[in-house]
C-alpha cells in the first residue's frame, strides 16, 4: 500500500465528516460512497435495506468471498470541533467515527483495485442506521447474503482510550446486547397532604429501582457480566399531588441470550410482585435492540494474523476484554462467521482525542493507514491459494 491511498482516504474522510446523515437518512453519504467505488472500478449496488451500498470486486477463479463492513450514519448532535471540515448539516455530526470507518474501506477499495492481487470476491458493505441498531437487520432482510454470498465478514471500530494504531479483538462475545425496558406503574393519585387515601406509585417505583439491583447481585452468575440500569422516571403528578402513574425506563446489557432472558424474567417478576404488595398494578415492556456481538474463533485467528502483519505483533491483542457497549454488527455475526475488532484512536484528553458520541469528537486520521493495512492484509491472506482453511 502506498501513501497515495492514505492521502485519498484522509480527503474522503474529511468530506464524509462534513455531510453526515442520521439513521437511514444518509443519501448524500451513500451517493458519495457509491460514486467513489464506481470510479475505482468496483461493481456497485445501492438501495439495499433502504440506503445501504455494496461494492464488489472479483478476481481470478476462486469461489471464495470475504466481506468488510463500515457504518455510514452519524448522530443527532451539534458539532463543536471547530475543524475546517466540520458538519455542514445542523444538528447532525459524525461523533462516533463512522466517517473514518467508511474512509478506511474506501482506502482499501483503492488499494485492492490498484495494488493488491487476490483470487476470489470482496464485498464492501456500507451500512446505514447502526446507531439505532436497525440497519444491519434491514440489509439482511433485503437478502444481503443471498445477493452477495460471503464466507466470512469483518469490521473495525475506532476506540478512543486505546493506544493509537493498536488492534484488539477476542473470540466469543466482544460487545454486549442492549435491551430496553419500560415499567408502567398504576396506583391512585391524590392530595400530598392525605397519603392514606392514595396508592402511591412513587413508593412502588422506588422499591422496584432498588430491587432491580439484586438481579445482577443475586441472580446472575458472578462470572458473567450484566448491567441493569434504571435511567428515566416520569409521573403525572405535581409538587403538591401524589401521582397516579409512574413510568420507569431503563437499559440492560448482557453477553448471552440466556442472561438477556434471565434479566427480562426477573424484571417482570420483581416489578409485578412489588406492585401487588402495595395494591398497585404494573405493565412491563421489554425490547431487544442490539444482540451480543459474538466473534467466530477461526475468524479471530485470521484477523489477528492480518493485524500482526499490518501493525506489528506488539500492537495486537487477540484476547482483549469485552466491552458493554453494543454494535449491530452482531446481526451479521448471527448469519455468517464473523470477527469484529477495535482500532485504538489514542489517548483521550488535551492533545489527544475526545470520547465517542462527544460534540468535540473528530476521527484521528493518523489511524487510517492501520485500518487500510489491516483490511488489505486480511483480504490478501484469505483470498490467496492455500489459505482457505
Residue of 25, 71, 73, 317 with catalytic role: 73
- Pick the catalytic residue: 71, 79, 99, 130? 130
Classify burial at 162, counting beta carbons within 10 Å of its beta carbon; exposed 0-12, middle 13-18, buried 19 or more: buried
Query: What Å distances lie between residue 275 and 52, 202, 204, CA to CA?
Result: 45, 11, 6
Is 151 designated active site? no
Alpha helices in 199-296, H assignment, sequence order? 201-211, 213-214, 257-277
User: 287, 270 in Cβ contact below 8 A?
Assistant: no
Q: Specify whether the CB–CB gap between 162 and 348 falls below 8 A.
A: no
> Measured between alpha carbons, how far is residue 263 from residues 175, 177, 311, 326 in Å?
17, 12, 40, 17
The three three-digit cell numbers of residue 71, written as one number: 457504518
| DSSP letter, residue 255 | S
- Please say if 283 is a catalytic residue: no
Placement of cell 449496488 in the chain: 45
DSSP 238: B
Residue with cell string 405535581: 238
C-alpha cell at 228: 441493569
CA distances from 247 to 183, 187, 215, 221, 263 (A): 6, 11, 19, 29, 19
Q: Give the integer Cα–Cα distance in Å for 210 and 204.
A: 10
Q: Are 184 and 232 in contact (CB under 8 A)?
A: no
Strands 338-344, 153-159: pairing kind: parallel
E strands, the chain, in order: 43-48, 52-59, 65-71, 120-127, 153-159, 167-168, 172-175, 178-186, 190-191, 227-235, 241-242, 245-253, 281-290, 293-295, 316-317, 338-344
Instruction: Give the residue numbers marked as catalytic.
Output: 73, 130
Amino acid at each position: 500500500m502506498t501513501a497515495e491511498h492514505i492521502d485519498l482516504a484522509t480527503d474522503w474522510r474529511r468530506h464524509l465528516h462534513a455531510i453526515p446523515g442520521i439513521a437511514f437518512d444518509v443519501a448524500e453519504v451513500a451517493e458519495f460512497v457509491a460514486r467513489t467505488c464506481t470510479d475505482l472500478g468496483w461493481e456497485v449496488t445501492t438501495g439495499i435495506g433502504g440506503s445501504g451500498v455494496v461494492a464488489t470486486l472479483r478476481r481470478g477463479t476462486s469461489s471464495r468471498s470475504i466481506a468488510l463492513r463500515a457504518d455510514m450514519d452519524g448522530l443527532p448532535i451539534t458539532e463543536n470541533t471547530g475543524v475546517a471540515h466540520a458538519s455542514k448539516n445542523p444538528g447532525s455530526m459524525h461523533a462516533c467515527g463512522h466517517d473514518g470507518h467508511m474512509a478506511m474501506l474506501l482506502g482499501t477499495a483503492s488499494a485492492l483495485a490498484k495494488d493488491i492481487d487476490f483470487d476470489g470476491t470482496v464485498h464492501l458493505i456500507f451500512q446505514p442506521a447502526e446507531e439505532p441498531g436497525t440497519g444491519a437487520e434491514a440489509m439482511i432482510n433485503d437478502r444481503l447474503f443471498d445477493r452477495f454470498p460471503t464466507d466470512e465478514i469483518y469490521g473495525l471500530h475506532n476506540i478512543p482510550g486505546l493506544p493509537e494504531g493498536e488492534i484488539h479483538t477476542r473470540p466469543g462475545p466482544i460487545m454486549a446486547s442492549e435491551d430496553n425496558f419500560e415499567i408502567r406503574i398504576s396506583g391512585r393519585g391524590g392530595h400530598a397532604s392525605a397519603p392514606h387515601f392514595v396508592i402511591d406509585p412513587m413508593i412502588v417505583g422506588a422499591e422496584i429501582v432498588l430491587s432491580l439491583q439484586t438481579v445482577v447481585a443475586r441472580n446472575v452468575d458472578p462470572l458473567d457480566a450484566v448491567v441493569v440500569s434504571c435511567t428515566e422516571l416520569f409521573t403525572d403528578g405535581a409538587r403538591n399531588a401524589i401521582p397516579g402513574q409512574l413510568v420507569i425506563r431503563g437499559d440492560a446489557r448482557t453477553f448471552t441470550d440466556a442472561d438477556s432472558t434471565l434479566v427480562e424474567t426477573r424484571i417482570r417478576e420483581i416489578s409485578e410482585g412489588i406492585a401487588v404488595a402495595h395494591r398497585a398494578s404494573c405493565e412491563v415492556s421489554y425490547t431487544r435492540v442490539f444482540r451480543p456481538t459474538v466473534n467466530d474463533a477461526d475468524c479471530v485467528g485470521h484477523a489477528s494474523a492480518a493485524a500482526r502483519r499490518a501493525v506489528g505483533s506488539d500492537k495486537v491483542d487477540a484476547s482483549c476484554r469485552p466491552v458493554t457497549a453494543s454494535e449491530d454488527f452482531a446481526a451479521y455475526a448471527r448469519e455468517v462467521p464473523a470477527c469484529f475488532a477495535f482500532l485504538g484512536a489514542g489517548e483521550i484528553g488535551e492533545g489527544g482525542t475526545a470520547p465517542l458520541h462527544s460534540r468535540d469528537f473528530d476521527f484521528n486520521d493518523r489511524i487510517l493507514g492501520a485500518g487500510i493495512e489491516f483490511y488489505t492484509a486480511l483480504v490478501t491472506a484469505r483470498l490467496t491459494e492455500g489459505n482457505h482453511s
